[in-house]
Structure 1
Amino acid sequence: MIDADISSTEAVADRREEILAAVEEHAGRIARELALLQGGDYGSKTLNTDTGEWTVKYEAGALQYLRFKGKGGGETYVVSTQRPPDPKDLATAMQDYEHFVASYNAYVASLDGVLDGVLDEFPDVTSTESVVAERDRLVATIRETSNEMAGQLHRYEGDSYGMFAKRVDGKRWELKWEDGLASYLRVGGESGIYLVSQYSPPSAQDVRTLADDFAAFVEAYNDHVEELDADLSTVSLGDD
């Protein structure tokens, strides 16, 4: 029977937990300050000391981890969501913790006055109201004409859904209709520009670029209808 004494690690483990709790609370304040300074919920900051470097990473403004990398190699996650650090590694890192805090304080101090003299008065902002109004007027006209074509196509085809497509000046124009109204008018294929859609309107620049070609697209539609009429005119149901 083996009756040799086994040394307890309870005291070391308890002391480690005390240190980690204190560091997590203290470094957590640094994480919150960095989150406030950097203006985001997620981020990290690495600070250098004579002995190594410390990285503070935060998520939602709370400390995610505090990592120490010594210049001699190796790294220790002093605070993390994983297992606690080895006591010896923790002791080595904590010898430099005060310098880490000093490096953070120096970093914050270096920002003192950085915004002094920055202008907080700016030129008046020019309104886009007139441009938007003209864009919307043109788009409304294009939509009205597209709806008229859609209604005629619906009447002719007899289906609830359909598409009329033609190439104009090297670009594919697609008018998709549903129940006699234009679902969309798209130029340039799947990755193209929607002149008419159920979503946001096109840019004023796109309207300017494509408005003239829209007239050509309508002409292509008219030619298509004339061809249909010509085809039917040749149909004979018997002797006159």
Structure 2
Amino acid sequence: MILASIFEGLDTKLLIEQLLRVLACLIIGGAIGYEREIKSKPAGFVTFILVCVGSCIIAILQENLYLDNPEAMDRSRIIAQVVSGIGFLGAGTILYNRGAVKGITTAAMLWLVAALGIMIGSGGIANYIIALVTVVIVLPTVIISRRFGKRITTGRKIYKIRILFEDEAEKELYDFLATTGVTVRKTYFVNKLREGKRELKESYIYLSLPKGMTVNELLEKLSSYHEIYEVSEV
């Protein structure tokens, strides 16, 4: 009797359809999140599922509230908060390190899955189709650009150099690279050494050169600094 009273007046067809929306978001969020997970990004499989499903649930909540009281509800008010709120989550994935910004793609994809969650959660065959086509286009594009993007996006070769320098001169080193037009892509710390009273730092730097500069010219300029002990292309 209790169960009967609970389900009395419930639109079972709508409930099943809304549950299917959540399931669709679970699959889509997981698919995109898996690609980020295998790349060891700050936001991975679980995060993308939660964002996509959470956005979907909010869209469903908005729909149900509107159905209960259509005259008193603004259909876009709650959903609008998702769009603004996802920015804070995305900002947490962006890191700035030695002239290189990382995490922008992950932040953008979080924003995308939130939008997909809202679209699917809002219901409608057209929304399902648009969301599916978006995933089919975007996901392979991200995977392909991960392999070939360095050349596609910059048109310049990425060089890897090994450099041993005084720890205290690190800021000056990256400032110098910036003034010469060198773009630092990634920096990996390798080891710290001590030579007398000086503390040395060994790092690998991935960088691209400005037009007209060769890697040998850059290495020659770096070698002229007293604070740099060793520098070579790897």
- Name the structure with the higher strand share: 1
Is TM > 0.5 for Structure 1 vs Structure 2? no
TM-score of the superposed pair, with normalisation by structure 2: 0.30
Bigger radius of gyration, 1 or 2?
A: 1
TM-score of the superposed pair, with normalisation by structure 1: 0.29
- Name the structure with the higher helix share: 2
